[in-house]
Structure 1
Amino acid sequence: MIELNDTLNKITEMLQTLSGILQTEQKLLIENSLTNQLNEIINKKSQLLIELKLLDEKRIKLSKQFNIQPPYEESPTIAEHWLSITNTTVLLSKINRDNGVIIQNRMNITQQSINYLKKMNSPAVYTNHGYQQTDVISSKRAKV
């Protein structure tokens, strides 16, 4: 049981680290500053999630070994620890979802800006018969 408790302690520490990473990510997204750091933050987050998955697999294996299942009511200390972990993961999931919404909104605004600029650079051209020309016209001038 000590090994299970140690695993839960490691998971708790990693979740605290993940919380800091997610909050930094959100700050960068909201302030729209230092966006070049986002790639580094995303890489750290991905690596941490992989490590958390491995620890959770270890937790599951130990739970089976000791024939104890979440919410670990058989051991009050472990049950309290597990409750803390589940509450933290719910909070972190919400922060991560909020960050995803911020990113999606930014992508939508960027796409709208690109579409607007494309319209600006592709003005409608009409032929001498009054019909809109669909072919792209080169902006180069011919010398006469």
Structure 2
Amino acid sequence: MLELNNILNKITEMLQTLSEILQTEQKILIENSLTSQLSEIINKKSQLLIQLKLLDDNRIKLSKKFNVQPPYKENPTIAAHWLSITDTTKLLSKINRDNGLIIQNRMNITQQSINYLKGINNPTVYTNNGYQQTDVISSKRAKV
């Protein structure tokens, strides 16, 4: 059971690191500062999630080996540790979801801006009789 407790300790440490990464990501997204660092933060988050998955796989194997299952009621220490991990995971999931909503909102605003600018870049051209011309006018002249 000591092995299982050690894995839970490692998971707790990694969740704390993940919490710091998600909070930094959210701060950058809200303040719109240092956006160049987002790529690095996303890479760190991805690597950490891979490591957490591997640790959780080990936790599952050890649970089967010792014939115990979450929430580990047989061992109060491990049960308390497991409860803390699940509560932290729920909180981090919410923060990550909020970050995703911020990113989606930014993408929508950016797309609206692009669409607006496209409208400005394609000015309306009128013919000599006052009607709107639907054809695109080229700036190149034809040589005769």
Answer yes or no: same fold by TM over 0.5: yes
Tell me the alpha carbon deviations over residues 100-138 of structure 1, each in whole angstroms, 9 at most, x when there is no partner.
000000000000000000000112223335443332213
Q: In 2, Cα distance between the equivalents of 1:68 and 1:34?
A: 46
Residue 105 (structure 2) pairs with residue 105 (structure 1)? yes
Pair 1:5-2:14 in alignment: no
* Counterpart residue number, 1:136: 136
Letter in 1 for 2:103: I
The answer to whether structure 1 residue 78 and structure 2 residue 85 are counterparts is: no
Unaligned runs of 5+ residues in structure 2 are none
Structure 1: give runs of 5+ residues left out of the alignment: none
In structure 1, the residue matched to 2:94 is: 94
Correspondence for 2:59 = 59
Match of 1:109, SS state, is helix
CA distance in 2, matches of 1:136, 1:50: 51
Alignment of 1:113-124 (within 5 A): 113-124=113-124
Task: Report the AA paired with residue 3 of structure 2.
Answer: E
Partner SS state of residue 137, structure 1: coil
The worse-fitting range, judged by mean Cα deviation, of 32-41 and 126-135 is 126-135
1:34 aligns with 2:34: yes
Distance 1:34 1:125 in 2: 42
- Identical positions, percent: 84
TM-score, normalization by structure 1? 0.93
Aligned length: 142
**Aligned partners of 1:138, 1:103: CA distance in 2, in Å?**
38
What is the alpha-carbon distance in structure 1 between the residues aligned to residue 3 and residue 38 of structure 2? 36
Give a deviation string over 1:17-71, Cα, whole Å, max 9, x none: 0000000000000000000000000000000000000000000111011100000
| Distance across 2 between alignment mates of 1:66 and 1:134 | 75
Q: Distance in 1 between matches of 2:48 and 2:41?
A: 11
Matched AA of 2:39: N
